Structure 1
Amino acid sequence: MVAALAGCLVGLVGGGFRWCLDHAELLRVSLLEATTAPGGAGRLVPVALTAAGAAVACAIARRVPHAPGSGIQHVEAVWRQESESASARLLPVKFAGGLIAIGSGLVLGREGPIVHMGAAIGSGAGRRGRLDAEDARMLHTALGGAGLAVAFTAPLGGLLFVCEEITGTVRPRLVLLTLVGTLTAVAVSRPIVGDALVLPMAAVPAPPLWMLPLFLLCGVTAGALGAAYSALVVGTLETCDRLTRVPLVARAAVIGALVGALMAFDPLLTGGGDQLSERLLAGGGLTAAALTVCLAVRFVAGPLSYAAATPGGLFAPLLALGALWGTLTHALVSPLLPAGAAGPAAFAAVGMAAVFTGVVRVPLTGTVLVAEMTGAGVLLLPLLTACLAAAVTADRLGSEPVYDTLRRRMRERT
């Protein structure tokens, strides 16, 4: 009962956060259309907008421990009893800071703040429900999974995320709590965010079996890309740590200004990436050169945005990066494919799951999450193949799962 009631609150908070982000994005797009003219001073508006948003979000996040960044590493640390659960002060700080940071155009995802807020709600419910320490810790973890389910309207993805990433184990009681929390959270969030798929894609037939080696190759290369991305995220954070003479808020403003300059050039280069992913899943429309440029820019802009020390996650930008990689892979091999082969939309979906797996190292969660977000159940076999290849490749390259690295870094700094 406590998990169900707390799940309802996660649905309200997470759904409200998504609703606010959607309207913030619409407002940002309207502002850019109204002020940006070729060669005009309006080009400075996105620079000023994102710089101010990053600075304000960073200043807000500094008020509460563990509020900057994704927060998923903190949820994992609480499960491992390496850290205390967050206080109730985290909710308004994470909500406001994440809304300002992501809404201003930084390359960050909504899932990190929602997972962290969900876990904080679970912890608070455990205390108010007078549960013992073990049940309160389980509720904290389970409601974090409910937060991911709300962020992407993916209840099974939220459950697998808890078992595969946060805890690395399957316990019947934990599974039950997570199922109750995710189901109630998604049910309550539906009237707020709607029933549509998060990333609808064009209808695709099941790819022929002879294409599995191609998806395997896509997974291998995506795993290498994911390993490089993880290294860049951590390396960027460590580089920024050495800039001790630059105030944290000023550093966030500079990063925001750089991202705003990219936004002035092309809005698809910035933001969480849902619009870009949806466009690629609908069939592409970008040339190989444009895909390469967008991939290279977002590959750097994501870790740079994360280093701004504002609330925001890694998942959504990773999915966009994977969609770019999958579509680019199809563009490179399409001249060799016969008629009836899978199109760019199928490769985009497989790339999303594979790059995500290469960074986070959760092949089942990546497969189910993409399938739930896109409705592409016919791609389960290619998704599993590519995710397995990505996980093995990243592991053989010596790349540590990114949240393990971030959790250890958090523990060392505190």
Structure 2
Amino acid sequence: MAEESADKLIEKVARLKSKLILKSIAVGIFSSLMVILYRIMLTKADSIREYALHMYNSNHLYIFLILFLVVINSLIIKKFVKTEPMISGSGIPQIKGVILRQIDYNPIKAIYKKLIGGFLAILNGLSLGREGPSVQIGATVGMYFSRKLELTKMEEKYLITAGASAGLAAAFNAPLAAVIFSLEELHKNFSPMVLLTSMIAAIVSDFISKTVFGLKPVFNFQLSSTIPLKYYPFLILLGFVTGILGVYFNKSLLKSTQVFKKIENRILISSLIGVVLLLTIPDVLGGGHDLVIKTSKVNITLKQILIILVIKFAFTMISYASSAPGGIFLPMLALGALIGKAFYSGIFIFFDTNNTYMVNFITLGMVGYFVAIVRAPITGIVLITEMVGTLNHFLELSLVSFVSYITAELLNEEPIYESLLERILESSGGLRNLIRPHQKTLIEITISTGSELDGIKIKGFKWPEGCLIVSIRRGNKEIIPNGEVVLHAGDILSILTTEESASKNKRELIKKATSVKE
């Protein structure tokens, strides 16, 4: 593509909105269909695994057939990961890398290998979730559409993000959380175009998903009335506990991936451990959806909860470190539910002998643990709210979320997806990209209240080299920039830069546009 002028790029952006609406609808439809297929496959994998356990209990000789199938499955997964490394693990770090133009892969190969590899990993019982892969599958559908239609890289970013939102919406029946996740985690910046495309794709995807799976929330809990304010000190304590344990999760996951990377047959070893757990404590296998439901309904002792918690945690570390396709979203929620129940059983039970607030604390444990690990508090609050199907506990969720978030931030641990992306780039040398050094592109930055860019003239700030402000949107007004224009909170800047420096410049400018002036 020939180098484009700033005027042509601005004109193209103005025409994008109407065109992207239709494309986002298409991406939402096809992303949803692919994720629905994936959910059905994983449900079938859980059923097959339960049937295998039933057959073993009726005749122990079936163990040889189980072992044979586990070995075959492991070899297939290993082959898939070797031929397309970007399908390993969650998929969310890979999509972040694609958006930053630091990672690239073949969309068709990635989709079918992620589908089959994820199915086989759950069939083997690995403690992995469907949500990260669903995000990658949806985003990859957006990538495929963009390249098939030969769209610009700017349009491709929007459709990739729209596909990611559609994937998460279909996986969790949580469209609003999917959109916020795209803004808060994938882009880490508010963009009206990202909001528009993501919202359209997520709503379309959620409608199709609910048509297939029904209208019930993912976790159909029967939560009690809201927790009395006099017990809120316990919520602060729970937020502190989940913050510390979330940081430990991140450190452990990174350490385990580093250790297991040196083991040649790590997928097979992890799967064989899964066979042992299938015969002894099958509740810890798979993503953990049924474990969360069981945790909310079955009364077990604190000792039993802690045993399941430790084993589920350890097996999640082993499963993810194996590099098999599968995410940590659902396993971390299952662990958070166990932490919430353990906390309630160990402390709060002395003040509530009727277990009135037990399910509340399971839910609060999930949101606190998620926020500490991912460092996306708004996403966590909205996600859990949509998953349990009630807004009555918003204050409780918010309190635990932000205490957990602050605790994790004070412990100075990077969010898990940021760390995993760094590992991927290190292992690939950071060379898997399609950046054309002299190709121009536009980036969007939103100025926050009290930031370094709030209240200063354009000429009063040292902009990164190669950056040119070409447009300022202030409400419904379009302002032509010049050195005397004073920037204000809420302004959306369109900045022309090269693809080579776009990622670096955007990170630097987002920091300046959001960090509070000292």
User: What TM-score range do you get, normalising by the shorter chain?
Assistant: over 0.9
CA contact (8 A) 2:107 2:141 kept: no
- Verify the 8 A CA contact 2:138 2:163 in the aligned structure 1: yes
Amino acid at match of 2:365: G
1:258 has 2:240 as partner: no
2:329 paired residue number: 315
More helix by share: 1
Match in the other structure for 2:504: none
Contact 1:320 1:352 survives alignment (8 Å): yes
1:21 paired residue number: 42
* Deviations, residues 293-323 of structure 1 (Å, cap 9, x unaligned): 0000111110100111111001000000000
Q: Is the 8 A contact 2:371 2:380 kept in 1?
A: yes
Q: Give, as a single letter, the amino acid of the residue that structure 1 aligns with 2:153.
A: A
Q: CA deviation digits over 1:155-203, x for unaligned, max 9?
A: 0110111011111011001000000111111112223323222111123
1:12 counterpart = 2:26:
no
For 1:317 and 1:46, locate their aligned partners in 2 and report how far apart those are by CA, in whole Å: 24
- Matched length: 407
User: In structure 2, how many angstroms separate the alpha carbons of the residues matched to 1:236 and 1:339?
Assistant: 40
Q: Matches of 1:70 and 1:275 in 2, distance apart? A: 20
1:210 and 2:224 equivalent? no
1:91-148, Cα deviation, whole Å (9 max, x unpaired): 1111110111123210000012111111111011122334321111121122112111
Aligned to 1:395, which of 389, 394, 409?
A: 409
Kept in 2, the 8 Å contact 1:122–1:143? The answer is yes
Larger radius of gyration: 2
Residue number in structure 2 paired with 1:292: 306
Contact residue 261 and residue 321 of structure 2 kept, 8 A: no
Distance 1:56 1:16, change over 3 A: same
After the TM superposition, which residues 101-120 of structure 1 pair with which residues of structure 2 at under 5 Å, given as runs?
101-120=121-140
The answer as to 2:282 corresponding to 1:267 is yes
Partner of 2:99: 79
* 2-structure distance, mates of 1:151, 1:192: 12
Q: Is the 8 A contact 1:163 1:169 kept in 2?
A: yes
TM-superposed deviation, 1:265: 0.4
Identity, % of aligned positions: 27
Q: Give the letter aligned to residue 32 of structure 1.
A: L
Counterpart for residue 197 of structure 1: 217
Hey, what's the Cα distance between the residues in 2 that align with 1:83 and 1:405?
15
Matched AA of 2:97: A
Closer/same/farther in 2, CA of residues 12 and 255 from structure 1, 3 Å limit: same
- Residue identity matched to 2:230: W
Structure 2 residues without counterparts, runs of 5 or longer: 1-21, 429-518
Work out which of the residue numbers 136, 143, 148 in structure 1 matches 2:163. Answer: 143
Question: C-alpha displacement at 1:213, in angstroms?
Answer: 1.6
Larger fraction in strand:
2
Q: Distance in 2 between matches of 1:405 and 1:292?
A: 28
TM-score (norm 1): 0.94
Bigger relative contact order, structure 1 or 2 (CA pairs below 8 A, ≥6 apart)? 1
What's 2:513 paired with? none
What is the match of residue 388 of structure 2?
374
Map of 2:174 onto structure 1: 154
Q: Does 1:301 align with 2:322?
A: no
Counterpart pick for 1:180 among 193, 196, 200: 200
CA–CA distance in structure 1, aligned partners of residues 363 and 298 of structure 2: 12
Specify the code of the residue in structure 2 equivalent to 1:232.
S
1:220 aligned to 2:240? yes
Q: Structure 1 residues 48 and 194, CA, compared in 2 at 3 Å: closer, same or farther?
A: farther
Distance across 1 between alignment mates of 2:234 and 2:131: 30
CA contact (8 A) 1:32 1:46 kept: no
Q: Which moved more, 1:222-231 or 1:46-55?
A: 46-55
Q: Is the 8 A contact 2:174 2:386 kept in 1?
A: yes
Deviation at 1:49, TM superposition (A): 4.9
TM-aligned CA distance change 1:241 to 1:153, over 3 Å: same
- Is 1:64 aligned with 2:64? no
Which amino acid is the alignment partner of residue 400 of structure 1? E
CA-atom RMSD in angstroms: 1.9
Instruction: In structure 1, give the amino acid aligned to 2:402.
Output: L
The C-alpha deviation readout for 1:343-379, integer Å capped at 9, x for no partner, is: 2110000101111111111111111111111113222
TM-score (norm 2): 0.75
Q: Is 1:332 paired with 2:346? A: yes
Go from structure 1 to structure 2 and tell me whether the alpha carbon gap of 1:110 and 1:372 turns closer, same or farther (over 3 Å shift): same
1:413 paired with 2:436, answer no
